[in-house]
Amino acid sequence: MGKNKSRSVLGDYSGKVGTVVLYNYRGTPVMKPLPAPSQEPASGKQLEQRAIFSLVKTLLTSLKKVIHTGFQVPRKSRKAPFDMAMSYHMKNCILHLAEGPSFQLEKLKLSNPVKRLQSVWKPVASVAENNTLILNWELNPYPQKDVQLSDKVYIVVYDATINRFSTFSCRRSDLGFSYSFIKEFAGHELYSYLFLTSADAKLVSETEYLGKVNLTLS
């Protein structure tokens, strides 16, 4: 038999239960009925918000594992990492155009450090003639005390031509990473990002955007 040790009749429950919603308001348990579905047609602003939500969710869904690693949740927050990422990108990464909302890829944020780790020094993305993406960086000449050569580097590459993310990893001490694409990818437009975590994943760096490059046609 289960026992509820909370002093409230609602216990520690939250969310939708049957025809009511349970939640906590400033430390007080609150219950309210589910709102009736609206019979009014959606306004232009509502339609735009739905389009933004769909755009951001579609883009971030394939990055859930990376976001779970990079987005640290403040101790008092009840949001999940993916929910935090959704909220951030909807507020900060949308360009409002006449034809509809557009996502600004240069603002993609894969990490949200609460306990901050120093990033790599002077990261650069380039392309070799054989369809190889090359990322290089240096060791920081002024390392903070938490920096370790074993820190993990997460690399995310977005292929805008086929709308696909690829994720790789290596170590800070590697000072670089390369990946050769098959010849059919020649001409594809790539966006590169990286962030680091400590070996125990307790420290996280800010996301570095390394810019856009095109795979060579030769």
Give the range of the structural domain holding residue 67, as residue numbers without chain letter.
44-107
Examine the pLDDT at 4 and tell me if it is beyond 50. no
What are the φ/ψ torsions at residue 56 (nearest 5 degrees)? Answer: -70, -45
Predicted pLDDT of residue 10: 45
Task: Assess if residue 16 is contained within a domain.
Answer: no
Residue 17: other Cβ atoms inside 10 A: 12
Angstrom distances, CA of residue 16 to CA of 21, 117, 157:
4, 38, 38
Query: Could you tell me if 132 and 175 lie in one domain?
Result: yes
Between 125 and 44, the more confident residue is: 125
Q: Domain boundary at 107, 137, 160, which?
A: 107
Alpha helices in the chain (DSSP H): 44-61, 64-70, 81-92
Angle made by CA atoms 58, 164, 68, in degrees to the nearest 5: 60
Task: Assess if residue 72 is contained within a domain.
Answer: yes
In tens, the pLDDT along 123-178 reads 999 999 889 999 999 999 999 999 999 999 999 999 999 999 999 999 999 999 99
Is residue 133 within 8 Å of residue 159, measured between CB atoms? no
**Which of 8, 62, 16 is CA-nearest to residue 35?**
16
Examine the pLDDT at 48 and tell me if it is beyond 60. yes
Task: Assess if residue 151 is contained within a domain.
Answer: yes
Q: Domain boundary at 107, 132, 152, which?
A: 107
123 CB-near residues (< 8 Å, 6+ apart): 135, 136, 137, 194, 208, 210
**59-68, 96-105, 161-170: least confident range:** 96-105
Angstrom distances, CA of residue 98 to CA of 49, 108, 176:
14, 22, 41
Task: Assess if residue 38 is contained within a domain.
Answer: no
d(CA 216, CA 130): 7
Looking up residue 200, the CATH number of its domain turns out to be 2.60.40.10
Task: Assess if residue 175 is contained within a domain.
Answer: yes
Query: Could you tell me if 71 and 129 lie in one domain?
Result: no
Task: Assess if residue 34 is contained within a domain.
Answer: no
Examine the pLDDT at 76 and tell me if it is beyond 90. no
Number of structural domains the chain divides into: 2
